[in-house]
């Protein structure tokens, strides 16, 4: 492999502004006060142990320790009301009140608790292993006399001097002292901290630049005073004492733990924060606890069951008390066979009230089987397996980046099938964040014949085909055989291949591309074998500009100590000449300045200020003589914005020697200042020189849409999911990206809310803040109310669709308490919502508003640090810093429509079935107790009761939760309207939940009375014996096991071998258990002793009753299901029927079925399909007019 080299360079002058403007605006005079009291002795780590006792660098992210695991984990388990209830029941089982043995009551609880604790322990052990691997990473630490030794991260101390090499992570928060570059710059990747993949430039102070060898640290002794540990990643205040002088420190010298050194051979730094004091660990708080709506509803169902349980226990206890009191009246024994005259306190007629209270406690224990003890652990197991299937889905694997989809939490699986609104960032989410130079305007002439995706979308809107019009020529001529250059998609023969020399403004064109080659902060990397140059840049925009200059004959080649070399190709003589520019200063780009400038000296001796920036600031800085092409350039910039391109204006000026010296003196004085207004002084100095510029032109780069975004949005829109775009881009760019991805379309009414209006702008120039705010708020309110009036009421059918577009200024007022509900009302009524110029805080507030007011599931998707608040506010966050990581936006289609639908359906049916089977079991217990005068006697053996939820009915429901499919993945995508079943929550509505419970009650009644009728009086064995309690209990239990498992078989839509094994295996296990348990000593097996082998198995009536009861019990449900599917089918039933007929995959059948099912015309208001529908309707109307005429 060819070896690359980066030229050694000194950029201290080049980055002088960067070092300053990124510094904190905090007053360095606060050093030493509260919050700024940190003192670090460089190269003297042991000195801190005496004075400060700073923590070591070992970190722990585990939830438990060996000491705290048992108490904390038990506390977590018994916070769940159901588990606490079973614990109380288990404790009461130790008393004589218990209707069963304590062991049989506590064993299932112990199994569930131990299983859950084991899961928690395994997860925490994994975190422990990750911490161990992290803490034992190796880094070189200075150990005296200029010797650096390999040391584990966990042994690093504050004050240590560390040497970090290329592509390694920083082990702690450090102050950069020097690097292999002569001026101490280095490149840092902070993706682990903020999700940003762009490299950041850091630079050491000038006074420490010569510390470039290990031996030079032998006598280094410095003192650093700085702020105390805090979570702010983007600010830092400190000073370094060097040879008696104080030098200010800023974030530009701060290297954060968990960031990575890139494109730099090595750096030296001193540790200031270790372990949990580091900014990364200060930010490592637990994310907001997110529980799905189904899980919250499940808690309500448990409360409902517990309330029901308490009511029937009270009812039974009251009746028991009445009947017990009547057992002894006037000295006469009513139920003499119970011997009420010689009984314990629990049945004493003389103390009936107390006996009734004791019975209440007994009943509460007995009816505990209404509550499914294994529900929580079963759901957790199912969700983990569901997440595993999501992670392993090859259809959601992005081969180019080698990134699969990752479900970081399984708590929200079912909510993937209930998403009502998606809130998406634009840059890097809908787009690739890979910039390509595609067009430019130079000297008032537009260059670049490439076609953007937005232009294609606009052409499709107008029914035109753009490629032929723009690129000229027939198909054969449009075929481009030249290799594609990353970052460069420019095509124009007028200035390519050196043809620019024939243009009338060739001098301006030359200066334009020279500016692109010089005005930047890129670092060249040169391949030693091929001598080809590649670039490392802070942003993809920067790289695209330098690459464009190179491809057009102006190659940025090398940086030296104080110069930059550009290799220019002379088209006339076809030779390459090197031009060396002396670098004097660079005033770097910032969000507040919105521009970047470079001061250089040409080989001819002229001093030039080269500047590029946003049109909003650059046109204001043009000289009166430099506006020759302003009107044409503005027009081109507007056209580029309409095409979805990012634009920058390029300008320059020639500086006189005297003028530059005055600026440089002022600038150097400002940057060495340690006063509170240091940044303002620097800004004033920079502002004084960036004036009277001469316009050269403007650049236009394209941030391409990700592959498959329009198609994905179309599918999601057909599924009835609303899509909002929250972006920091300006309105024109966002609107045109909306057209490109089909969120907006021709004929859609745009409701635009903006404060960029003449009267508001004039007021901002002249009025005070209070007047401006009042007028702005009134204008926003008026625009919102006008928008609401435009939209017809729901009762009035209309095919017209609306899009809401609002800018950041207006959004500030729209989100205030007295306006936000009106704003949301308008937004919900619109098919598309685009929020432009949105700040990170506004993104989070909009997300919170939608979630809290609509009570619908929201999903936020973004890629950078500015999206973290939005991601954490939403019910589900996708990509960085949140619940799900997906490599491409288009994977949302399969994630939601397939996995989301499956997970929602599986969890919903699983929970309903859990409650059904427990209600069925619990009601038979209640009925028998009522049949036995509420005596507290259970119908079943103790271990029958205990193992019902653990062995005989639990595995089939887990298999359903993991494997069941109502329709295949292909059909889920073909019928996106099916997704609405989750959005409307039709499978987990109270109607459906209570329906399952009612089914359980009916099944229990049928089982109980059929069994009682069959065995109450008549003999069931050949020798004429009648059934006792032991035989009756086994018969009822057998029927229950058969019924609930067969009910599961009827509920399954997609059988696998695993489901067959679990369903029929659970029934088989019941019979095997009867054999094994019945063979145990009667002291242990009690009523189950030989009951199956000796009594039931030989009796034909046992088998006949089982068969009859099971069939009779299932017939009502089967009949209901058949009627429901035939006369009241749900959408998935219709698809299943078409699949059965072999017509499900017919596109025409799918179209007809979907159109009949569509519940709202708004579902087709956006997307490619809506565009096609709109065009079809337009053609139909025109045809109807022609017929009428």
Q: Known catalytic residues?
A: 425
Q: 10 Å Cβ neighbour count for 851?
A: 19
Residues in the chain: 1189
How far is the C-alpha of 666 from the C-alpha of 87, rounded, in Å? 76
In the numeric block, the tokens 């009915």 are attached to 953
Q: Which residues contact residue 507 at a Cβ distance below 8 angstroms, ignoring those fewer than 6 apart?
A: none
Distance of CA 672 to the CA centre of its chain: 43
Helix (H, G, I), strand (E, B) or coil at 700: strand
- Sign of torsion over alpha carbons 467, 471, 472, 475: negative
3-state percent breakdown (helix, strand, coil) of the chain, nearest 5 = 50, 15, 30
Helix H, strand E, coil C: the string for 331-388 is: CEECCHHHCHHHCCHHHCHHHHHHHHHHHHHHHHHHHHHHCCCCHHHHHHHHHHHHHH
Contact between residue 1087 and residue 941 where contact means Cβ atoms under 8 Å apart: yes
- Whole-number Å distance between alpha carbons of 591 and 612: 13
* DSSP 8-state assignment for residue 144: S
Cβ pair 975, 1150 in contact under 8 A: yes
- For 80, phi then psi, to 5°, come to -75, 125
Nearest to 131 by CA among 80, 62, 226: 62
- Do 258 and 195 form a contact (C-beta atoms < 8 A)? no
Intra-chain end-to-end CA distance of the chain, in Å: 74
Answer whether 618's CB lies under 8 Å from 651's CB: yes
In 884-979, which residue ranges form alpha helices assigned H by DSSP? 891-894, 901-931, 942-947, 954-963, 969-974
Q: Residue 536 gets which letter from DSSP?
A: E
Cβ count within 10 A of residue 720: 20
Determine if residue 707 is left, alpha or beta; phi over 0 gives left, psi from -120 to 50 gives alpha, anything else beta. beta
**Alpha-carbon dihedral of residues 737, 740, 744, 748, nearest 10 degrees?**
120
Ramachandran angles phi, psi of 826, nearest 5°: -65, -45
396: tokens are 């959601």
CB 152 within 8 A of CB 42: no
DSSP 40-82: EEET-TTHHHHHT----S-----S--TTTHHHHHHHHHHTSHH
Question: At CA 418, angle to CA 1119 and CA 801, rounded to 5?
Answer: 110
The separation between CA 1084 and the C-alpha centre of its own chain, rounded to angstroms, equals: 54
Beta carbons of 892 and 457 less than 8 angstroms apart: no
> What is the rounded distance in angstroms from the CA atom of residue 485 to the CA atom of residue 688?
39
Nearest to 313 by CA among 367, 353, 372, 373: 367
Residues 6+ apart with CB under 8 A from 673: 681
| Contact status, residue 47 vs residue 73, Cβ threshold 8 Å | no
Angle between helices 1057-1078 and 1029-1051 (to 10 degrees): 170
Backbone angles phi, psi at 1167, to 5 degrees: 100, 170
Give the DSSP per-residue string, 520-541: S--EEEEETTT--EEEE-SSHH
């Amino acid at each position: 492999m060819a070896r690359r080299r980066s030229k050694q360079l000194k950029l201290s002058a080049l980055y002088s502004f960067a070092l300053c403007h990124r510094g904190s605006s905090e007053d360095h005079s606060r050093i030493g006060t509260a919050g700024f009291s940190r003192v670090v002795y460089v190269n003297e780590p042991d000195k801190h142990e005496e004075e400060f006792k700073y923590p070591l660098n070992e970190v722990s992210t585990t939830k438990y320790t060996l000491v705290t695991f048992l108490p904390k984990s038990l506390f977590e388990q018994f916070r769940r009301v159901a588990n606490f209830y079973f614990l109380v029941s288990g404790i009461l089982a130790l008393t004589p009140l218990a209707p069963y043995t304590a062991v049989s009551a506590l064993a299932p609880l112990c199994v569930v608790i131990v299983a859950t604790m084991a899961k928690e322990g395994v997860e925490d052990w994994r975190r422990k292993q990750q911490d161990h691997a992290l803490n034992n990473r190796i880094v070189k630490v200075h150990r005296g006399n200029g010797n650096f030794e390999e040391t584990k991260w966990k042994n690093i101390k504050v004050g240590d001097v560390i040497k970090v090499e290329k592509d390694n992570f920083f082990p702690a928060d450090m102050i950069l002292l020097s690097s292999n570059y002569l001026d101490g710059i280095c490149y840092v990747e902070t993706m682990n901290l903020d999700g940003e993949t762009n490299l950041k430039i850091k630079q050491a102070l000038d006074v420490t630049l010569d510390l470039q060898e290990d031996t030079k640290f032998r006598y280094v002794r410095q003192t650093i005073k700085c702020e105390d540990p805090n979570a702010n990643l983007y600010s830092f205040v400190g000073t370094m004492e060097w040879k008696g002088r104080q030098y200010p420190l800023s974030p530009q010298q701060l290297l954060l733990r968990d960031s990575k050194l890139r494109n730099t051979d090595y750096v030296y730094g001193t540790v200031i924060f270790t372990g949990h004091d580091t900014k990364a660990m200060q930010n490592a708080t637990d994310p907001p606890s997110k529980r799905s709506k189904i899980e919250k509803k499940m808690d309500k169902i448990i409360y409902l069951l517990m309330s029901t349980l308490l009511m029937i226990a009270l009812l039974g206890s009251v009746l028991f008390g009445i009947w017990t009191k009547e057992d002894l009246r006037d000295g006469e024994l009513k139920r003499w066979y119970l011997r009420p005259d010689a009984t314990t306190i629990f049945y004493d007629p003389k103390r009936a009230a107390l006996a009734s209270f004791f019975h209440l406690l007994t009943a509460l224990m007995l009816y505990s089987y209404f509550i499914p003890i294994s529900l929580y652990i079963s759901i957790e197991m199912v969700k983990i397996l569901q997440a595993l299937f999501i992670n392993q889905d090859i259809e959601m694997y992005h081969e180019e980046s080698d990134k699969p989809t990752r479900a970081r939490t399984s708590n929200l699986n079912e909510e993937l099938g209930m998403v009502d609104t998606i809130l998406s960032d634009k840059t890097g989410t809908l787009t690739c964040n890979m910039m390509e130079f595609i067009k430019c305007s130079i000297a008032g002439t537009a260059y670049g014949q490439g076609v953007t995706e937005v232009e294609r979308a606009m052409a499709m809107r107008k029914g035109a085909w753009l490629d032929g019009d723009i690129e000229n020529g027939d198909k054969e001529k449009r075929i481009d055989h030249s290799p594609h250059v990353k970052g460069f998609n420019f095509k124009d023969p007028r200035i390519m291949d050196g043809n620019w020399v024939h243009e009338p403004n060739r001098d301006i064109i030359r200066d334009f591309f020279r500016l692109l080659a010089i005005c930047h902060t890129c670092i060249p990397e040169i391949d030693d074998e091929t001598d080809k140059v590649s670039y490392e840049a802070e942003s993809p925009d920067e790289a695209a500009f330098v690459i464009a200059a190179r491809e057009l004959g102006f190659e940025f080649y090398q940086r030296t100590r104080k110069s930059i070399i550009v290799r220019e190709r002379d088209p006339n003589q076809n030779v390459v000449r090197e031009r060396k520019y002396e670098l004097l200063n660079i005033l770097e780009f910032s969000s507040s300045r919105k521009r970047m400038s470079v001061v250089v000296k040409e080989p001819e001796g002229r001093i030039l200020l080269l500047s590029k920036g946003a049109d909003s600031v650059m046109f204001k800085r043009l000289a009166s003589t430099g506006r020759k092409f302003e009107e044409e350039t503005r027009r081109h910039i507007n056209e580029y914005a309409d095409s979805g391109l990012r634009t920058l204006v390029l300008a320059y000026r020639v500086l006189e020697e005297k003028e530059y010296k005055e600026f440089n003196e002022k600038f150097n004085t400002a940057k060495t200042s340690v006063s509170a207004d240091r940044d303002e002084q620097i800004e004033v100095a920079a502002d004084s020189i960036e004036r009277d510029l001469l316009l050269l032109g403007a650049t236009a780069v394209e941030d391409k849409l990700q592959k498959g975004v329009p198609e994905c949005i179309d599918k999601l829109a057909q599924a009835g999911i609303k899509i909002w775009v929250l972006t920091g881009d300006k309105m024109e760019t966002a609107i045109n990206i909306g057209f490109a991805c089909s969120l907006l379309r021709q004929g859609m009414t745009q409701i635009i809310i903006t404060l960029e209006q003449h009267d508001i702008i004039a007021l901002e120039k002249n009025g005070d803040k209070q007047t401006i705010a009042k007028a702005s708020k009134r204008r926003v309110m008026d625009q919102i109310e006008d928008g609401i009036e435009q939209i017809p009421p729901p009762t009035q059918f209309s095919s017209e669709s609306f899009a809401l577009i609002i800018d950041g200024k207006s959004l500030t007022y729209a989100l205030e308490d007295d306006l936000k509900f009106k704003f949301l009302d308008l937004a919900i009524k619109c098919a598309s919502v685009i929020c432009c110029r949105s700040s990170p805080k506004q993104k989070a507030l909009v997300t919170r508003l939608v979630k809290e007011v609509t009570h619908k599931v929201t999903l936020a998707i973004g890629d950078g640090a500015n999206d973290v608040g939005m991601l954490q506010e939403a019910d589900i966050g996708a990509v960085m810093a949140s619940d799900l990581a997906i490599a491409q936006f288009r994977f949302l289609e399969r994630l939601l429509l397939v996995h989301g639908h499956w997970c929602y359906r599986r969890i919903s049916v699983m929970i309903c079935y859990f409650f059904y089977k427990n209600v069925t079991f619990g009601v038979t217990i209640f009925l028998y107790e009522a049949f036995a005068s509420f005596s507290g006697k259970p119908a079943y053996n103790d271990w029958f009761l205990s193992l019902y939820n653990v062995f005989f009915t639990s595995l089939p429901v887990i298999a359903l939760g993991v494997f069941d499919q109502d329709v295949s993945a292909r059909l889920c995508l073909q019928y996106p309207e099916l997704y609405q079943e989750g959005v409307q929550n039709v499978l987990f509505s109270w109607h459906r939940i209570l329906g399952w419970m009612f089914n359980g009650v009916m099944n229990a009644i049928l089982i109980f009375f059929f069994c009682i009728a069959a065995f109450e009086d008549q003999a069931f064995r050949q020798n004429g014996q009648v059934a006792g309690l032991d035989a009756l209990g086994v018969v009822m239990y057998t029927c229950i096991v058969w019924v609930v498992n067969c009910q599961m078989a009827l509920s399954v839509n997609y059988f696998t071998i695993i489901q067959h094994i679990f369903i029929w295996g659970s029934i088989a296990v019941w019979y095997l258990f009867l054999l094994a348990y019945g063979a145990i000593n009667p002291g242990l097996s009690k009523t189950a002793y030989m009951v199956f082998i000796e009594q039931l198995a030989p009796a034909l009536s046992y088998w006949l009753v089982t068969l009859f009861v099971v069939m009779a019990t299932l017939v009502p449900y089967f009949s209901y299901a058949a009627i429901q599917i035939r006369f009241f089918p749900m959408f998935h039933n219709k698809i299943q029927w078409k699949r059965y007929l072999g017509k499900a995959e017919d596109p025409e059948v799918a179209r007809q079925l979907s159109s009949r099912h569509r519940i709202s015309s708004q579902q087709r208001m956006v997307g490619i399909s809506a565009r096609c529908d709109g065009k079809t309707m337009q053609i139909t109307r025109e045809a109807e007019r022609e017929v009428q005429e």
